[in-house]
A and B are shown apart, each in its own frame.
Chain A
Amino acid sequence: MASGTTTVEHAADAATHGAEASGAGMPQLDFATFPNQIFWLLVTLVVIYFVLSRIAIPRISAVLAERAGTITNDIAAAEELKHKAQAAEAAYEKALVDARAEASRIVAEAKAEIQAELDIKLQKADAAISAKTAESEKAIAEIRAGAVKSVTAVAKDAAKEIVSALGGKADAKAVTAAVSARMKG
C-alpha cells in the first residue's frame, strides 16, 4: 500500500462521495452505500416475488398441467388406434387363413375327382390289355400246337422213310410209338 495519508484520504473520499474511491479499500466495505443497496435489493426481491408468484408460476404450472393432460389424452387415443389396428390385422389374418383352407379344400377335391376318373380309366385300360394278352396267348398256343403236330407228322414220315431206306419194313405202329416217346422226352 502507498503512504498512509493517501489511503486515509481515499477512504474518507469513499465514505463521503462513494464515487471517487479509487482502489483504496474495497467498495464492498463502504458502509455508506449499505442502506441504499439493501433498500433497493428488498424492493427488487419483493417485485420479483410478486411477479413470479402471482403471474409466472400459476401460468407455467397451468401450461404444464394442460400439456400433461394433452399428452395423456393423445397417448390414450394412440393406444385405442393401436388396438383397432391390431383387431384389423387379426381379422385380415383370419380371412387369409380361411381363404387358404378353402383353397386347399378345393385343390383336394379336384385331386380326388381326377384320381377317381384316372382309376376308372386305368381299370378299363388294364382290362383291355389283359383281354388282348389272353387272345394273343391263345393264338400263340394254337400256333405252337399246330407246329408240334406238324413236327410229329414230319418226324413220323421221316422216321418211316429212314427205316425203309435202311431196308427195314417199317412198322407204322412202332415208329409212331417211338417218335411219340422221343417227342415226350
Chain B
Amino acid sequence: MATEAHEEGTGLVFHPLDQFIVKPLFGEGPIHWYTITNATLWMALSVVAIIALFVLGSRGRAIVPTRTQSIGELIYGFTYKMVEDVAGKDAIKFFPYVLTLFMFVLFSNYLGLLPMSFATTSHIAVTAVLAMAVFLTVTIVGFVKNGTKFLGLFWVSSAPLALRPILAVIELISYFVRPVSHSIRLGGNIMAGHAVMKVFAGFAAVAVISPVSVGAISAIYGLEMLVAGVQAYVFTILTCVYLKDALHPGH
C-alpha cells in the first residue's frame, strides 16, 4: 500500500510503519547487539523518567508529600494493592518485580506517544521478552513452591472425571498461549494506534480533508492516551493473575 502511494507521485506518501524502524542513534551501519539505537535512547528515557518520579520526587521523604512524591506514592499504593488483592499476601515479595514491569510498560507507552518519539513497547521483541520473563517466573516459582502439585492447575478437580483429560488439554494449551497473547496484546495495541495516527497524518497533506484528518488524529491521540494506560494496567494485572496461579494452583 505504501509503495503504491509512492509510485502514484501525488505527494500523498504513507510510511505508517517507518516510525517503528530501529536505527543507530549515531551514524549509519549494521545494528549489533550493543549498538546504541533509538530503542536504547527511549528505554533510557523511561529509566530517567522513573528515576525522576520515584527517586528525585521522593527525595524530601516528606510526611506531607509534594505533588511528584504523591504521584509516586499513588502508583506504589495502587500496584501494591493490586498485587495483594489479585495474587495474594504471599505474592508481596514479587512486588518490586511487578512494579518494574508496570513502570517500564507505562512509561514506555506514554513516552511513545510524544511526537517524533519511538515506542519501545510496540516491538514484539520487547513485549515477548517481558511476557516470557513473566511466563518463566510463574512456571519456575510454581514448580519450586508447589512441586508436582503445580500440575493440579491443569487437572480441574471440580469437573466430572470424564471431562478432566479434555479440560487438561485445553488448560495446557491455554497455559502455553499465555505468553503469546500477553505480548501480542501489548505490542499490537501500541503498534496499531501509532500506525493509524501516521496514516491519518499522511492524509493531512491533502488540503480538503486535512481538517478532518487533524481532528481524527486528535481523537485517536486521546484514545491512545487511554490505551497506553489501560494496556500497561492489563499487562500488570495479568502478571498478578499468573502469579496467583503459581502460588495457589488449583481452581
B-contact bits for A4-29, CB 8 A (1 contact / 0 none): 00110010001011110111101111
Closest CB in chain A relative to B42 CB, distance in Å = 10
In the complex, whether B159 has a CB less than 8 A from a CB of chain A is no
Contact for A47 among B47, B129, B191, CB less than 8 A = B47
Task: Determine whether the beta carbon of A60 is less than 8 Å from that of B20.
Answer: no
Q: Which of the segments B26-34, B139-147, B216-224, B236-244 contacts the partner chain?
A: B26-34
List of A residues within 8 angstroms of B6 by Cβ: 22-23
Q: Which residues of B contact A63 (CB under 8 A)?
A: 58, 61-63, 65, 69, 73
Instruction: Tally inter-chain residue pairs, CB-CB below 8 A.
Output: 166
Q: Are B18 and A23 in contact (CB under 8 A)?
A: yes
Q: Is A144 an interface residue (CB 8 A)?
A: no
Complex CA gap A22/B73 in Å reads: 43
Residues of A within 8 A of B65 (CB): 63
Residue of B nearest to A69 (CB): B63
Cβ-based interface call for A42 (8 A): yes
Identify the stretch in B118-126, B162-170, B173-181, B227-235 within 8 Å (CB) of chain A at 4 or more residues.
Answer: B118-126
B61-87 with Cβ < 8 A to chain A: 61-63, 65, 69, 72-73, 76-77
Instruction: Report how far A60 CA is from B17 CA in the complex, Å.
Output: 40
**Nearest-Cβ distance from residue B105 to partner chain A, whole angstroms:** 11
Closest to B61 in A: A63
Question: Which of the candidate stretches A48-56, A79-87, A108-116 sits at the interface with the other chain?
Answer: A48-56
| Complex CA–CA separation, A44 to B34 (angstroms) | 13
Question: Is A52 a contact of B77 with CB atoms below 8 Å?
Answer: no
Please tell me if B136 contacts chain A, counting CB pairs below 8 Å: no
> Which of B49-57, B148-156, B205-213 makes up part of the contact surface?
B49-57
Task: Tell me the bound Cα distance from A32 to B122 in angstroms.
Answer: 16
B23 part of interface (Cβ distance < 8 Å): yes
A6 touches B3 (CB 8 A): yes
**Chain B interface main SS type:** helix
Say yes or no: is B135 at the interface (Cβ < 8 Å to chain A).
no
> Contact: A40 with B62, CB < 8 Å?
no
With A27-B17, A70-B63 in contact, is A37–B125 under 8 Å at CB? yes
| CA of A51 to CA of B56, assembled, Å | 11
B47 and A44 contacting across the interface, CB-CB below 8 Å: yes
Given A41-B126, A57-B76, are A27 and B3 also a contact pair (CB < 8 Å)?
A: no
What separation, in Å, do the CA atoms of A66 and B31 have in the docked complex? 49
Q: Does B203 contact A (CB under 8 A)?
A: no
Interface size class of B (residues with CB under 8 A): 35 or more
Q: Are B18 and A55 in contact (CB under 8 A)?
A: no
Task: Report whether A18 and B31 are in contact in the complex, using a CB–CB cutoff of 8 Å.
Answer: yes
Q: Which residue of B lies closest to A67 (CB)?
A: B63
Q: Which residues of A contact B47 (CB under 8 A)?
A: 44, 47-48, 51
Nearest-neighbour CB distance to chain B for A64, whole angstroms, equals 7
Q: Complex formed: what's the CA distance from A59 to B55 in Å?
A: 9
Contacts of A66 in B (CB 8 A): 63
Give min CB distance, A119 to chain B, whole Å. Answer: 76
Interface residues of B in 92-123 (CB under 8 A from A): 95-97, 99-101, 103-104, 120, 122-123
Q: How far is the CA of A15 from the CA of B73 in the complex (A)?
A: 44
Give A51 to B63 CA distance when docked, in angstroms.
Answer: 22
User: Taking the complex as formed, is B189 at the interface, i.e. its CB lies under 8 A from any CB of chain A?
Assistant: no
Cross-interface CB contact of A56 among B22, B43, B55, cutoff 8 Å: B55
- Show the binding face of A for B, using Cβ within 8 Å: 1-2, 6-7, 10, 14, 16-19, 21-24, 26-30, 32-45, 47-49, 51-53, 55-57, 59-64, 66-67, 70
Give 25 A-B contacts (CB < 8 Å), ordered by A residue.
Answer: A1-B1, A2-B3, A14-B21, A18-B22, A22-B6, A23-B2, A23-B3, A24-B3, A26-B17, A26-B20, A27-B123, A33-B37, A36-B22, A37-B123, A38-B125, A40-B39, A41-B120, A48-B47, A48-B103, A51-B47, A52-B100, A53-B100, A60-B72, A63-B58, A63-B62
Closest 6 A/B residue pairs (Cβ): A23-B2, A56-B54, A2-B3, A35-B33, A19-B23, A53-B96
